[in-house]
């Protein structure tokens, strides 16, 4: 390697910057606050409180919550993979009218507040719903909602790689006499495993820390570790037990992430990826058309029915229908400010969160992609941790840790920072594969010709990863639009975000308040779909994607 | 520092800022329980000067932690004595958690409305009641306190016996008021439960926030067995702006703010000098004998009661 033989100062400085910025950001806004609250919770009277852990171990209800957290997360992850895989295949391998709209639309559930999805599912799964069976307050309601939320993660992550697999491999297998199923199992599946692992790890994290879905759809007989941390803190102010549970949650998630990164390293298969345009084609024959439209029909019904319930509710006026709820959004209401202002607040916070996530996330991605080894691996795990940490832990952590040197606890900038913590893993996961695929020879050639490293990066890498950055940006924007847990700790009451305004309206009686909440939810869906759609336009022909 | 449900008209707040030159910055703190926890955790370096919205179910926690400084507002003279709990806090408003029922559904089934909490164990109301989990919901906790205050912990028929009977009468438990009201309660959703634990102020909400003008609320309130929640304000210990903090407390008890309370937060103003708006006078219900428990009793027993309740309901 040319660079190794001629170590140059610019390169070392560049590497240090790449390490320093994300490390300082995560250190100050994640590790330090979480360590602060755990310290207060677990070190009392000068010693470490082992008794909190024995209390967790001795209480049947807490042991039950831990066991339930694990098994429902495993079940939800497997179910999501199975249910969403056909759609991943169809989106990867076929072109059909309205494809980019469909792709944007499936991301909408991802950002909807759980209290809103709860309204839709409690209607759909009730005795008067289309299924005709009462699934409310059962494990099925929880599992179905988890699949609903995470469908897009599997379609986009697995479909993303599938869209680049060389179809000639499968064609060859078919020609040699293998059936469709055998071809999938022995040719496509092994090549797809890295993407399946990536999707599964994210779905697992999301469902492992499930909160609103479990509370609202599961009723009071189901509880996860996340729910227990919140209950122990809010209802009992039992910080030692909440702290012990938070430690168990962090340890469990770290173990999964380390196992996942080891697995990824062993599984990584070198393969020649093909451009999307060569892989996707219109369906041929009745069988393929049936498959494509059948899968799309199922996706439309499964994801669309709850969304349609919400839109329908937003238009209900007395016994008839109308746009009254939308028209009233500009007036001062039961909330502190006219609900329509929440749209502006959300857009502003989401833009700031996107910018922070993009800057920090891209630097972290560059570090992971260009400097392989143990440090990068641990860094990757650290980046993912905020996704799996309870919002209560982070929220209280901010309160106890961020009061000096500058008191950030009540600063509005804390809202996009908290959102960026959750969005950074998505930016990193989107960009790393593309960065790794930029061929080393191109970069080395640039260096040989005497260009400084920053210039090489700017002129060779940046154009190639630009589209991946946009996809990551879209996810960051959407995540910020939908975040509720940490926001409820830090958003000012006179500057609510959309989810906060929706919650506030739903916490008051009166049909007009309910109608406004549904109207805001519908606008949130529209805003999400529109921003994702805008980003889709930039991602034609790009190799890596979330 | 205030809870999520805080509301004040812009004009009222601006008038205060104009008169005194004090700029009021509202800080969020989640629900009432979360807010007290935040105040306790930031005791050494308080986030704010004044805290508003600590209720009688969480008051002891704040008092025990020593996060509040005593202050006697001169305006307390207009506040009834039974709302005053402790010199460190000033009562600002109060509201009642009560059983609501859907008038149309009960009339259609030719059922008499319930007249006391005990009636809800009657098989004629089987499968009709939805309540909130006291471990995750503030009205749910208030309703649990109602049953404890009504039936007691000892004797022939305790609150535990009552909840066993409710359970056998197919009561439904949700995690929050939002699901109970907007997904199960017949008067506000397509649900199938015509009796719900809600607030005495829910019927006026139904009238004022109707989508089409209505004269009569669809719900009625059971005025027996209501639990009174009183909201207090206090000065946070360690404040660097004590005189301004006192002025803010006085402002919260002032006629201007007290008049603004009913239509903003849908609770009753603490001051007897406040004037109530017409819609409120007409539809809001003020139970005559609301229940309450001492704040010390609540703080000492909350966890045990919730755990015993959970055992009964899952047993």
The 3-state secondary structure of A506-518 reads HCCCCHHHHHHHH
Report whether B85 contacts A447 (CB < 8 A). Answer: no
Distance, CA of A157 to CA of A206 (rounded, Å):
15
- For the stretch B295-309, pLDDT in tens is 889 988 988 999 899
**CB environment A348-382: b (16+ within 10 A), e (fewer):** bbbebbbebbbbbbbbbbbbbbbeeeeebbebbbb
In this predicted structure, the answer to whether residue A441 has a pLDDT above a threshold of 70 is: no
Sign of CA dihedral B13, B259, B68, A414: negative
> Among candidates B57, B60, B73, which has minimal Cα distance to B252?
B73
pLDDT at A140 over 60: yes
Q: What is the mean pLDDT of chain B?
A: 89
Token pair in block for residue A402 = 């961020």
For residues B70 and B36, membership in a common domain is answered with yes
| Structure confidence at residue A541 (pLDDT) | 45
For residue A5, what pLDDT is reported? 43
Fold of A7-37+325-546: MetI-like fold (1.10.3720)
- Cα–Cα distance, A18 to A264 (Å, whole number): 23
Q: Would you place residue A2 in the very low, low, confident or very high pLDDT band (cuts 50, 70, 90)?
A: very low
- The residue of B97, B127, B179 whose CB has the most chain A CBs within 10 angstroms, and thus the best one to mutate to test that interface, is B179
Do B301 and B155 share a structural domain? yes
Q: Is A471 a residue whose pLDDT tops 80?
A: no
Residue A28 has a pLDDT of: 94
3-class secondary-structure state, position B269 = strand
Q: Cα dihedral sign for B165, B166, B167, B169? A: positive
pLDDT at B112: 95
Evaluate whether residue B309 is within a structural domain.
yes
Q: Which positions ≥6 away from B16 have C-beta within 8 Å? A: B22, B24, B251, B254, B256, B257
- Is pLDDT above 80 for A161? no
Give the CATH number, domain containing residue B69.
Answer: 3.40.190.10
* Mean pLDDT in residue range A457-467: 71
B190 and B150, same structural domain? yes
* Number of domains chain B is built from: 2
Residue B2 lies in a domain: no
Judgement on whether residues B134 and B214 belong to the same structural domain of the protein: yes
Identify which has the larger pLDDT, A370 or A360: A360
Q: Per the domain annotation, does B36 fall within a domain?
A: yes
B179 and B108 share one domain: yes
Q: Mind telling me how many Å the CA of A178 is from chain B's nearest CA?
A: 51
Rounded to 5 degrees, what angle do the CA atoms B217, B150, B170 make?
65
Residue A440 or B274, more confident: B274
Helix (H) or strand (E) holding B69: strand B68-69
Share of chain A above pLDDT 70, in %: 88
Residue B94 pLDDT level (bands cut at 50, 70, 90) = very high
Nearest in space to A79 (alpha carbons), one of A174, A153, A159:
A153
- Please list every residue in chain A whose beta carbon sits closer than 8 Å to the beta carbon of residue B313: 220
- B4 in a domain, yes or no? no
| pLDDT tens digits, A374-404 | 777 788 888 889 888 888 888 888 888 888 7
Query: How are beta strands B90-102 and A47-48 bridged, if at all?
Result: unpaired
**pLDDT of A269:** 58
Residues B105 and B185 in one domain: yes
> Percentage of chain B surpassing pLDDT 70?
98
Residue A3 pLDDT level (bands cut at 50, 70, 90)? very low
Contact B176 A489 (CB under 8 A): no
At B257-272, the pLDDT tens digits run: 999 888 878 889 999 9
B88 falls within a domain: yes
The mean-pLDDT minimum among A449-458, A536-545, B33-42, B170-179 falls in A536-545
Q: What is the pLDDT of residue A6?
A: 46
Q: What mean pLDDT comes out for the span A174-202?
A: 85
Contacts of B104 (CB under 8 A, 6+ apart): B187, B218
Q: What is the mean pLDDT of chain A?
A: 83
The range of the structural domain enclosing residue B188 comes to: 96-227+290-314
> Is A237 in contact with B61 (Cβ distance < 8 A)?
yes
Torsions phi, psi for B23 (to 5 deg): -95, 125
Indicate whether B223 belongs to any domain.
yes
User: Are B159 and B296 found together in one domain?
Assistant: yes
Q: What's the confidence (pLDDT) of residue B271?
A: 92
Are residues B58 and B153 located together in one domain of the fold? no
Q: What is the pLDDT of residues A282-306, one digit of tens each?
A: 888 898 899 999 999 999 999 999 9
Residue of A nearest to B7 (CA): A336
Omega of the bond prior to A517 within 30 degrees of 0, cis?
no
ipTM of the complex: 0.84
- Pair B277, B170 in one domain: no
Share of chain A residues as helix, strand and coil, in percent rounded to the nearest 5:
75, 0, 25
Chain B nearest-CA distance from A260, in A, is 34
Q: What local confidence, expressed as pLDDT, does residue A540 receive? A: 43
Residue A258 burial (C-beta neighbours within 10 Å; 0-12, 13-18, 19+): middle
B162 shares a domain with B295: yes
How far is B265 from chain A, CA to nearest CA, in Å?
Answer: 8
Distance set, CA A381 to CA A16, A26, A233, A259, A378 (Å):
19, 12, 27, 10, 5
pTM strictly above 0.95: no
Q: Where are the domains of chain A?
A: 7-37+325-546
A546: confidence class by pLDDT, cuts 50, 70, 90: very low
Residues B91 and B104 in one domain: no
Element (H, E) at A392: helix A391-401
Determine the average pLDDT of the residues in A466-480: 82
Q: Are residues B163 and B209 in the same domain?
A: yes
Hey, what long-range contacts does B272-275 have (CB within 8 A, 24 or more apart)? Answer: B272/B78, B272/B79, B272/B80, B273/B78
CA distance B125 to B103: 14
Nearest CA in chain B to A506: B178
Residue matched to tokens 């039992």: A238
């Amino acid at each position: 390697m040319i660079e190794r033989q001629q170590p140059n100062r610019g390169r070392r400085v560049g590497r240090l910057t790449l390490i320093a910025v994300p490390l300082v950001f995560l250190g100050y806004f994640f590790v330090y606050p979480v360590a602060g609250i755990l310290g207060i919770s677990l070190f009392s009277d000068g010693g470490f409180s082992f008794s909190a852990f024995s209390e967790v171990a001795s209480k049947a209800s807490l042991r039950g919550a831990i066991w339930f957290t694990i098994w429902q997360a495993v079940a939800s992850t497997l179910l999501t993979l199975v249910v969403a895989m056909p759609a991943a295949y169809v989106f990867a391998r076929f072109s059909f009218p309205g494809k980019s709209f469909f792709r944007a639309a499936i991301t909408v559930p991802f950002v909807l507040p759980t209290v809103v999805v709860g309204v839709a599912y409690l209607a759909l799964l009730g005795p008067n719903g289309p299924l005709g069976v009462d699934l409310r307050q059962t494990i099925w309601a929880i599992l179905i909602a988890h699949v609903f939320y995470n469908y897009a993660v599997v379609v986009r992550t697995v479909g993303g790689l599938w869209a680049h697999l060389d179809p000639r491999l499968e064609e060859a297998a078919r020609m040699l006499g293998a059936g469709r199923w055998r071809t999938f199992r022995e040719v496509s599946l092994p090549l797809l495993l890295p993407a399946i692992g990536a999707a599964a790890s994210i779905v697992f994290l999301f469902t492992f820390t499930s909160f609103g879905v479990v509370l609202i759809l599961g009723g009071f007989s189901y509880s996860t570790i996340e729910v227990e941390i919140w209950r122990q803190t809010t209802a009992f102010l039992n910080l030692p037990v909440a702290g012990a549970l938070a430690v168990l949650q962090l340890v469990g998630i770290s173990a999964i992430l380390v196992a996942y990164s080891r697995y990824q390293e062993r599984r990584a298969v070198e393969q020649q990826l093909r451009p999307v345009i060569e892989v996707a084609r219109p369906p041929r024959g009745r069988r393929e058309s049936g498959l494509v439209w059948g899968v799309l029909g199922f996706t439309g019904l499964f994801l669309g029915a709850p969304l349609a319930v919400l839109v329908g509710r937003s238009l209900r006026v007395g016994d008839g229908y109308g746009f009254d709820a939308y028209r009233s959004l500009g007036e001062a209401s039961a909330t502190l400010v006219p609900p329509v202002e929440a749209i502006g607040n959300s857009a502003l916070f989401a833009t700031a969160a996107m910018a922070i996530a993009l800057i920090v996330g891209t630097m972290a991605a560059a570090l992971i992609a260009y400097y392989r080894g143990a440090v990068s691996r641990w860094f990757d795990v650290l980046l993912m941790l905020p996704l799996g940490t309870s919002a209560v832990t982070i929220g209280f952590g901010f309160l106890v840790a961020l009061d000096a040197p500058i008191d950030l606890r009540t600063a509005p900038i804390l809202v996009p920072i908290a959102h960026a913590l959750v969005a950074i893993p998505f930016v990193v996961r989107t960009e790393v594969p593309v960065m790794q695929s930029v061929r080393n020879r191109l970069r080395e050639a640039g260096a040989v010709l005497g260009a400084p490293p920053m210039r090489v990066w700017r002129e060779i890498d940046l154009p190639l990863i630009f589209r991946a950055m946009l996809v990551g940006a879209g996810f960051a924007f959407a995540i910020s639009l939908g975040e509720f847990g940490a926001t409820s700790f830090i958003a000012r009451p006179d500057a609510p975000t959309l989810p906060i305004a929706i919650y506030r309206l739903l916490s008051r009686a009166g049909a007009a308040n309910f109608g406004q909440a549904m109207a805001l939810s519908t606008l949130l869906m529209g805003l999400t779909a529109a921003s994702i759609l805008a980003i889709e336009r930039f991602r034609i022909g790009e190799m890596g994607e979330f | 520092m205030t809870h999520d449900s805080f509301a004040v008209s812009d004009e009222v707040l601006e008038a205060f800022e104009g008169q005194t030159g004090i700029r009021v910055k509202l800080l969020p703190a989640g629900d009432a329980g979360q807010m007290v926890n935040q105040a306790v955790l930031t005791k050494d370096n308080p986030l704010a000067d004044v805290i508003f919205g600590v209720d009688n179910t969480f008051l002891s926690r704040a008092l025990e932690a020593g996060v509040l400084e005593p202050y006697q507002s001169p305006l307390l003279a207009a506040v009834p004595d039974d709302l005053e709990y402790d010199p460190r806090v000033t009562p600002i408003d109060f509201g009642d958690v009560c059983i609501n029922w859907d008038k149309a559904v009960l009339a259609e089934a030719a059922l008499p409305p319930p007249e006391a909490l005990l009636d809800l164990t009657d098989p004629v109301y089987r499968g009709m009641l939805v309540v909130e989990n006291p471990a995750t919901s503030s009205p749910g906790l208030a309703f649990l306190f109602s049953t404890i205050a009504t039936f007691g912990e000892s004797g022939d028929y305790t609150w535990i016996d009552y909840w066993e009977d409710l359970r056998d009468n197919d009561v439904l438990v949700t995690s929050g008021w939002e699901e109970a009201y907007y997904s199960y309660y017949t008067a506000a959703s397509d649900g199938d439960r015509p009796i719900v634990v809600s607030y005495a102020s829910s019927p006026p909400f139904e009238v004022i926030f109707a989508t089409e003008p209505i004269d009569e609320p669809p719900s009625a309130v059971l005025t027996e067995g209501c639990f009174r929640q009183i909201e207090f304000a206090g000065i946070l210990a360690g404040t660097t702006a004590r005189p301004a903090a006192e002025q803010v407390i006085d402002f919260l008890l002032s006629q201007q703010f007290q008049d603004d309370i009913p239509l903003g937060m849908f609770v009753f103003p603490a001051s007897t000098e406040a004037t109530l708006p017409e819609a409120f006078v007409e539809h809001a219900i003020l139970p005559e004998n609301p229940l309450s428990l001492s704040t010390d009793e609540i703080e000492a027993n909350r966890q045990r009661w919730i755990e015993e309740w959970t055992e009964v309901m899952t047993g």
